[in-house]
């Protein structure tokens, strides 16, 4: 059985390393030009070089997104940029427009090209066409069913790889081709500066009563009539693998370290468990629990099973039951003291969960908190990126993440 690649988002060098450490086979990042996440911490050439080395030293791959739809002025210098990526050693570029394909073939003919989901490929003839143009991998449109994906795979030329999204945010528009943000705020979704206007809270206004706002009731949390659910296929790994796709892609280059670590860990373990022993495979609730801990909208299975109506919401708000409160910098086994980089507020005496690669969650208690900068005891770590120390009986490791559940107050 062909084991598919687990492909993770990396919005920064730190998150790239986390993705690889937690089991990703490859990461995708944004460079300085022509990618659809203008507000993420896109990589400089120096950071990219370090990230490539980190991946290649561990036998992993790195792809760079160039998936905007360029205007004439965007094409200036694109060949030099692509040649620079090739010289740095990137494993592939992800593109959406024929102009970038043509530029890549001219500037770096040996550079692998992947076709973005933005190109909305929905049939096998299209995969054959793009493969003949020199594209090695097709990222299929999110709107396809598993049955359609299987049929595409059966009719796709040997050597052409298929990739599908299995987790993350979904767009209200077909394959992300949305003009709402551009129309309302002049921020073009297809240039990487989407305002997520579909997530806004909306009211009705009658034209002769300009200051009277009528609510459009959806639920008690508000009115988010275009807000899609999040995709989650962690419970359906066997079906995805059987479809024959080469890569399982996790969305989220603008998500935090907790999101990257949790999703990669869950999908890595599930894919390995199924591919290593298909007949004895059993789904583990801990994989679903892991992705339920991260900030998310209500989950669903997208279009994979043909339930086209599930894009709409019945619970409009984000689910944020857990926060990352710290990342372990070091641990002294003699003193049982951990040095922590603060990520969210945490108190002395709190019990937290530890998220570690290739290890089930476990709990520890944070005792005797000490503020390193102020050189004094404290009962709370409440400054951004504060370095603090705590006594922890269970040995911790560098890069362990400390996760804290939010308390629900009963009224």
Q: pLDDT value at position 291?
A: 97
Q: pLDDT value at position 68?
A: 86
3 state DSSP class of 269: helix
**C-alpha span between 333 and 243 (Å, rounded):** 47
What would the mean pLDDT of 180-202 be, rounded to a whole number?
A: 74
- Percent of the chain clearing pLDDT 70 (strictly above): 91
pLDDT tens-place string over residues 334-367? 999 999 999 999 999 999 999 999 999 999 999 9
What would the mean pLDDT of 1-9 be, rounded to a whole number?
A: 94
pLDDT tens-place string over residues 295-319? 998 899 999 998 765 555 555 667 8
The residue with tokens 């807000």 is 227
What would the mean pLDDT of 198-205 be, rounded to a whole number?
A: 75
pLDDT, mean over the chain: 90
CATH code reported for the domain at 5-173+228-311 = 3.20.20.80
Q: Which residues, 6 or more positions from 303, have their beta carbon under 8 angstroms from its beta carbon?
A: 142, 143, 144, 145
Q: pLDDT value at position 263?
A: 98
Q: pLDDT value at position 221?
A: 57
Question: Would you list the domain boundaries of the chain?
Answer: 5-173+228-311, 322-405
3 state DSSP class of 398: coil
What letter would DSSP give residue 229? P
The closest of 53, 44, 58, 51 to 15, measured between CA atoms, is 51
Report the CATH superfamily, name and number, of domain 322-405.
Translation factors (2.40.30.10)
Residue 82 or residue 42, greater confidence: 82
pLDDT tens-place string over residues 151-161? 999 999 999 99
**C-alpha span between 357 and 18 (Å, rounded):** 9
């Amino acid at each position: 059985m062909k084991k598919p690649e687990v492909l993770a988002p990396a919005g920064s060098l730190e998150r790239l390393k986390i993705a690889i450490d937690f089991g990703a086979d490859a990461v995708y990042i944004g460079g300085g030009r022509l990618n659809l996440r203008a507000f993420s911490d896109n990589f400089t050439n120096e950071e990219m070089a370090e990230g490539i080395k980190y991946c290649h030293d561990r036998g992993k791959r790195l792809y760079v997104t160039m998936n905007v739809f360029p205007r004439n002025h965007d094409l200036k210098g694109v060949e030099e940029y692509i040649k620079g990526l090739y010289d740095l050693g990137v494993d592939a570029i992800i593109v959406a427009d024929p102009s970038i394909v043509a530029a890549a073939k001219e500037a770096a003919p040996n550079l692998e090209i992947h076709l973005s989901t933005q190109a909305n490929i929905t049939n096998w003839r299209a995969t054959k066409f793009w493969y003949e143009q020199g594209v090695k991998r097709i990222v299929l449109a999110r709107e396809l069913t598993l049955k359609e994906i299987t049929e595409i795979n059966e009719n796709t030329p040997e050597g052409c790889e298929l990739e599908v999204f299995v987790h993350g945010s979904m767009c209200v528009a077909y394959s992300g081709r949305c003009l709402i943000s551009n129309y309302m705020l002049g921020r073009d979704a297809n240039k990487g500066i989407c305002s997520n206007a579909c997530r806004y809270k909306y009211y009705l206004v009658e034209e002769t009563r300009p200051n009277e706002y009528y609510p459009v009731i959806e639920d008690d949390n508000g009115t988010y009539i275009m807000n899609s659910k999040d995709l989650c296929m962690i419970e359906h790994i066997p079906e995805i693998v059987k479809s024959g796709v080469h890569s399982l892609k996790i969305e989220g280059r603008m998500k935090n370290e907790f999101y990257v670590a949790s999703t990669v860990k869950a999908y890595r373990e599930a894919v390995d468990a199924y591919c290593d022993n298909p007949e004895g495979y059993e789904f583990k609730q801990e994989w679903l629990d892991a992705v339920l801990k991260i900030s998310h909208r209500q989950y669903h299975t997208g279009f994979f099973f043909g339930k086209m109506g599930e894009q709409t919401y019945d619970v409009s708000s984000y689910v944020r039951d857990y926060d990352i409160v710290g990342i372990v910098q070091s641990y002294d086994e003699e003193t049982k003291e951990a040095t922590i980089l603060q990520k969210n507020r945490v108190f002395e005496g709190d019990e937290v969960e530890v998220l570690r690669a290739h290890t089930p969650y476990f709990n520890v208690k944070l005792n005797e908190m000490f503020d390193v900068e102020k050189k004094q005891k404290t009962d709370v770590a409440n400054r951004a990126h504060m370095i603090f120390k705590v006594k922890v009986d269970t040995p911790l490791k560098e890069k362990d993440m400390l996760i804290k559940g939010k308390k629900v107050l009963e009224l």
